[in-house]
Structures are given as structure tokens and as C-alpha cells.
Structure 1
Amino acid sequence: MYKVLLVDDELLDLKGLQCFMNWEKMGMEVCAAASSGFEALEVLEAQQVDIIVTDIKMPIMSGMELARRALELNPQLKIVFVSGYEDFQYAKQAISMSACGYVLKPVDDEDMRRTLNDVKDALNKERARSRLEHYFSESEPLLKRDLFMQLLDGTPDEEKVVPVLQRMGISWQSTRLYTALLEPDDLAWKLNGYSEEAKAGIERQLSLSVEQFCAMERIQVCRLDQFHFALILEERVDHGCLKELIHHAVSGIPLTVTIGAGPLVSNLKELHFSYQRAKEALGLKLFLGKGKLLMHTDAKGPVTAEAKDLDDILQALFQAMSSYRLVAIDDCNEELFVWVDRMETKLEIYQLFLHVVSKLDAYLHTINEDFYEVLGLDRKHLSILYHFETTQDMKSWLRRRMFELSEHLQRKRQGKKRKLVQEIEAYIEERLEHNVMLRDAANHFSFSPNHLGQIFYEEKGIYFSDYVSLRRLERVKLLLGDPKLKVYEAAQRVGYKNLSHFSKQFKDYYGVSPGDYRRHL
């Protein structure tokens, strides 16, 4: 409700205005009534006020002077003047102060109601606009990331994306662009031994360093996940700048980073092509080393093709693991070892396995899991991989570990469902006396009705509405054990409005009418 302050030196007029208007119906409440401008200012300094209704002609401090001082305290205040004089000078001054209303005495209730409703409409619009501006301010980083991902994935609606980017101060229409990807190296072991707080501090420092450098060089940056960043660069930004970023990003932290850069493109619609080539360039780290800038032109032919194939296999493997598709995990494992068979030395295979483990650990961190903790492995002893004597031993080890991870994620998902269903049951119990609808429960838990209903059925083996009816019958059965309650009173306590419908449901489920059941207690 909007807070209203009434000000008038005529006490009868003040009392009448306070008592004879239906403030609550208008969505307002009188928070205070003052008989002078000085008293009104004290109220304004002590509490929040949205609307002032004040007489103009008051001794010592006029309504005009009060309004001027009040607006200095709170420029958002709405002022309604009341006057016994149909004086043009008063009206002119009121207009100059952006008054929201000017009502003549004796006050006509309908005139005042109409004026106050106009004020309320103006306040509603201002608050809606303020909420919208706050929403855009809060959501701009997410909106920017969403727009960038549309550009990088090749799905932009250019007519909509470009104007929004321009509103954010980004204009790329007159220049060629290219993309780059920044990735920390050896996260699988370099942060070993650091506390979670220290790791979070390193993450923050990396993010801050990257964002500060990009702001200074006017490079647009999009954070993809905890440690990875995509850059969109204009043609003027040369590769020397990216090499500087490699050193700047890790200043003061125990990491190195590698950047993969894609080719220049001539428009936004082609940006996804540069992004794909940047990803391929970063994939060459396995062969060309880390802590450096890798270009899409650094290696061609078989090596690039192999790196791309490996990333595709790993992505499919991780997706199969997350969705508990054990057959698909086995298929991906077989594909991975076809790729491994191309290698010539044990050292190459060992390096590949470190790469796979590093990628897997990075993927698990995006879903708040830790490869080593889940499997009970020691980060310091990854050399166990090098002690396998055959690739078959390696394949069996990896398959077993991937199955363990998939089982862990599946159990965790099921546990989350059980917890949700328990919360739904508690929600129903608290509202049995009301009309408990699936739609309302879904809204309460921020799910669609179909999805929430499916989760409930899968976990309980009974539909939501049937479960509500069952719980009502069980509750009313207990209440019927109280001889002080009449049958219809017990039914009403659990939400039954129609006694005959209740009796029919009770008899259908328990085989006897409520009255017969009570008589046999």
C-alpha cells in the first residue's frame, strides 16, 4: 500500500479527510496526519511517505513551502494540494512544482478519490518502470552472455541481436572480427592441495585479470564456465595482444593459460565459423604444448582432424556418463581406444590419458562434482596410469571409472527427486483443508505442472490428485475417532465442501460409509 501523509491546520478538515475516505480500497493508508508544515517535515524525516495531501494556506509554513522542502528530501514524492481559494496564482505555483492534483475546498469526495486514483496510477507506472530498469541492470551480464553464445553457436537473429548489443555500447558492423578461447592448463593437478576457499580466490583473480585486460584493450569477453573464456576481437587487436593476455591473466596465481585463436570473418553470421576453428586450435594443445597462443593455421591435415575427433568422442562420452547410458559409455570407450591405437609410444598414450582425465575433471566441475573425490583417487599418484602394461588394461580401467561416475550421478539425481517429493508431500499436508491443485504446487516449486506431476508419479507410483484424495481420506479417518466432531465437521477440516461427494469417496475406498465406520469404532 502507498503511504499517505495528510497536512492541514484545520483540525476538522484533517479529521474529515482522514475518516471519510476509503483509503484501503484505493490501495493506500494514512501513515500520519500533521497540523503544520513543521510537523509534516518531522514525519517525512522519520518514515517513508509516497503521497502528501496538504492544504496550501497554512500559518508560518505554507503548503507550497512544505512541498518544496519535502521534494528536496524525496524527489519521488507525489503532492496533492487542497485550497479554499480558486486562485490562479496558487494553481500556477502548484503546476510549477509538478503537483499531481489541485482540489478545492470544501473537498468533494469524488474529486479527491479521482485525483488520488490518478496519483496511484502514476506511482504504479513509476514502480513498474523502476522494477524493469532494475531487472535489466541485474540481468545484463546474463543477457550479454546469451547473445554472445547465439553469435558463437551460429544462431543469431541479427535484427534483434545488433540493436541490443548497440544498447550495451558494442558496435561491430563496420569491422571484421575473430574469436579466441582462453583455457587454464593442468587444472587436474595444479590446484591440488589448495583449500576450496583458495581455489575460489584463484578463480576470482583469473576472472578479474582477464576482464580487466579485455576492458583496457576493448575486447569483448564472455565467461563460458568456471575457468574458461571466449573472446570476440576486432581486426585491430593483433595476436601480440593475445600473447600479452596469456601473461597478464596468470599474474599472481599458480596457473598458466593457453589461447586458441580462429580466423577473421567479415560479418556476425560467420562468427561461429571462427569460434569452431578457435576450439580446434585449442585442441592442438595436446600436440603443440601449452602456455602459448595456438593459431588455427598452426597445424593442418591429420593432426587437426585427430584433435577434432578426440574432442567429439570425449563430448559424447561425458554426455553418456551424465545421462546414465552405460551402453553408450562402452561404445565411446571403444571409439576412444581406436584413436589410441594410432599412437606409437607409451609416453604419447600416457599424455593422452592425462588429457582425458583433465577434460573429465573440468567437465565434472561444471556440474559441481570432483573427479578425484567421487572416485577416491589421489591427485598426486596419477602415474598409476603409466604402469598399465596393455591398452586393454587402460580401457578396462577407464570403462570401470566411467561406470562408477555415471552410477554416482544417477544416485544423486534420484536423491534430489526423493527430497523434492518429500517437500511436495509436506506442502500437501499443510494445505489439505484447501483445494490443493497440481498447478499451484508446480508454481510453488518452479516446475511445469506436467514435469512435477511426472516426477511425483515416478517416485510415488500414484498420481498427484489421487495422492491428495488419499491423504484427505486418511486424515478424516483419524478425525472421525474424535466423538466431539460431527461427520460433516471432520470432512470440512480436510477440505471437503460437498458431504455427499465425501461420503461416496470414503465408501469407495474403505468399503463403509463414514457414519458406519464411526459406529464400529
Structure 2
Amino acid sequence: MYKVLLVDDELLDLEGLERFMDWDGLGMEVCAAASSGFEALKVLEAQAVDIIVTDIRMPIMSGMELARRALELHPKLKIIFVSGYEDFQYAKQAISMNASGYVLKPMDDEDMRRTLVEVRETLDREGEHSHLQRCFSESEPLVKRELFLQLLDGMPDEARVLSLLKRVGITWRTTRLYTALLEPDDLSWKLNGYGDGAKAEMENRLETAVELFCAEERIQACRTERFHYALILEENVDSGRLRRLIEQAVSGMPLTVTIGVGPAVTGLRELPDSFEKAKHALGLKLFLGKGKLILHSDARGPISAKAKDLDSILQALFAAMSSYRLVDVDDCNEELFVWVGNMETKLEIYQLFLHIVSKLDAYLHTINEDFYALLGLEKKHLSILYHLETIEDMKSWLRRRMFELSERLQRKRQGKKRKLVAEIEKYIEERLEHNVMLRDAANHFSFSPNHLGQIFYEETGVYFSDYVSLRRLERVKQLLGDPKLKVYEAANRVGYKNLSHFSKQFKEYYGVSPGDYRRHL
């Protein structure tokens, strides 16, 4: 339905036109009726309108002035003027403004209906043309992409593809060409914290950056999948210039990109070979790192020397973790990656990681611990290993997990010791009036005296016998606050039998004798 705005300062004329014209039959609806040009402009600012039917002669703002201002707001607006015979001179102005119709008063319903039909037909034709243009505009990128991918995958009909490419504006000045692939790094997790709107904005910014660069360098490119692009370059375009694209493509975004480059070939028919080698170059990111340009001729580097036996490395790793020797843990991690360096595919590396985790979990069960419980992981979380894109990322991930496990095992051990020491302290408090000996405490807790004494010192920083003496003195200090007790009675209550020895210890620790301390209370 086309939307119509009626404008007339004569309310009866306005109401009659709105009520008696068969708007539904014309495929139209009256969206508003205004009694002045100013009121009509407010309607135009607030909503889309297809047709204005307006009286020419209106106070303050004439229909002509309204038409001029309305066309500034909506250039495709259709305008039908209504005027009496005496104002027929306005017809010339109406014609100069490309008016869609001019109806004389007193208005004949059939004249108005015929004029509205003509306007509707004009709008229909323009709509069809606009639709065709829009369809072509929307489909052209898809056509380009399909043709581009046919070039890279192998052309079934070279003459036809070349003809179609030319029609959509893709041509090359030489037959010596090569391909490149642009891929964002760590895309599987870097965008996890962003909403769909933010992701779409980054996608558009990346696409704009690639398009601008390719326009400047006269490079043909197409998007192969979200955030990924394939490029076809003429041989005289130095691949080194692609390094500028690596920086430009992700400017202001939390991403880096890696570009793999294939060799130059002769003719479009050989492009698939260059494309396959560009893919291989991009795959070298696993070994050579990300955020860089990788040529098909780049090598992985020397294969590592023969690795040590895997089981012996894992045994050494488990021992280092259990005893909290982090330097040794790191050394074992490095030795494990000698094995990784000898592998050819990401799948092989992933399977090795799963083997290491399985062995580690089995070892932890021998000491009543669980790999997944200690790290707060589920088995499905290990899939992140397959999404890590370089060996350095994998090494870093494994090192962090090994350090974290070592730390948690150490804390658990310390927690058990802390609980034991708390029980020893309680044991001492309950027996201060007796002669508390380390030997007796060790027997009570089923430890050797040396082991128990070492645990106690490690956790408190005080030797067992010194702690007992300090607690006794603290207890006497509290008892001295009771005026009913004599000094020797307070000392006797916490096991001091020799008053002279007690007074000497008290003065050494508090700086005053027991008697002087009580006098100053």
C-alpha cells in the first residue's frame, strides 16, 4: 500500500477527499491529513510518505513552497496539486517542478482517481526498476565470490568463467599470478567475550580494511568464510607489501592475522596449485608462529634431535610436580616439546596431548587426586587444545596447567600440615601445667620426634620447645592479673617448679620481673 498525505486548509474539502475516495481500491492508504504546510512538514519528518495531494493556495505556506521543502526531504516523493480555475497560472510552476498531477477545483472524483492511478503506475514501474537494481547489487558479490572460488578450486569452463569475470569487473594485466590466504589468529576464543553486534562490527571493519588495501594495490580478493579472505595478485606485486595488510587489517581490533602465500604460476588454470601451497604455508603457522607473512618456501626449521623416552619424561615431570620443583617442571615441559617438534600434523600433536593428560590423571589417582577436579575442568574442555594455533601456544598452555597442578598439590599438602600443627598447638594448651615434651607429642600423633619437630618449625617458624615456653609465659601473664594468686602460685599452675628459673625467663621475654609487672597492672 502506498502512503498518501492530504493537505488542504479547507477542512470540508480535506474531509471529503479522505472519506469518499476508494483508497483501498487504488492500493493506497491515507496516513495523515494536514490543514497547513507546516503541519504537513511535521508529518513528512516523522514518517515515510509516497504521495502528497495538496491545495496550491494556502495561507502563509503555499502548496508550491510545501512541495519544494517536501522534495528536499524526500526527492522521490510524488506530488499532485489541486487548484481552482483562477489559479491555473500555477500549472506552469507545477510542471517545472515535475508534478505528478494537476487537478482542478471543483474536484471531479473521476479526475482525481485517474490521476492517482497514473501516479500508482509510475510508482510501480520505479519500484520494479529499483528491485531489479537491488537484486543485481545484492547478487553481484555472490557471483564474484562464486567465480573467484571456481578459479581457486579449478575451472570447469575457462572461457565461460573468464567472460563472466570480465563482466563483473575482474581482470588481470598479466598471466603470471599468485595467491594468498588471510586468516585471523585465535578466532575461536578471542571473540568469545563479544556480543553479536560487536563481532559484526569487527567483521565489517576487517572487510573494509581488506577492500581498501586491495583497491590501492589493484589486488582481487574475496571472502571465503567469515573473517577469512583469499587474494589473487599479479607477480609484480611484491608479496612483502602484504605485510602492510597484516597491520592495517586489524588496526584497533583485538585480533592479529597471518597470511600464507603461494608461488607464482602461469595462467589462471594453474591457480589451484598456488592456492594449495598458500594453504600449506598458512598451516606452517603451527610451527613458525602467527601474526606474520608465511611464504610457501618457508621451512619449519631443523627437526629436533631424538627425544628422550616419553615415559621417563612423564615420570620425571610427575615427580617434579609432586615435590613442587617448578624449574624441573619447566625443564620436563621443554623435553616433551622435543616430541612435538618431530610431529607432522596438528592431529598427531592433539593425540599426544591427550596421552599426556591421561597419564597425568592416572598418576594423580595413585596419590588420591584427580586431574579434572584439581583444575576445575571437564573432559570436554580439552578440546581447546585443538583450537590452539601454534606450538608455542600449546607449550604455554601445558606449562600453565603443570604449574597450576603443582601449586594446588603444594597447597593441599600445606593445608594438611596446618591442620596437624593446629592439633599440636591444642595438645600443648591442654597440657601446659605439665612438662610438655616433643617426644610425648610425637608419640601422640604417630610421628618420629624429628619429623614432627620439622613440620612444626616449617609451619610456625618456632621450635617446639620454644613455643611451649612462650605459651607458658603468656598463660602466667594472664594469671598475674588475678590479685588473689601469688606469683609462685601462678607459675606453679603452668608447670614452673623452679621460681628462680621462671623469674629469669619472664624478665628475659617481657623486660620486667613478674613482681614489677603485677605492680604496674
> What TM-score, normalized to structure 2?
0.49
- How high is the TM-score relative to the length of structure 1? 0.49
> Which of these two proteins has the greater Rg computed from alpha carbons?
2
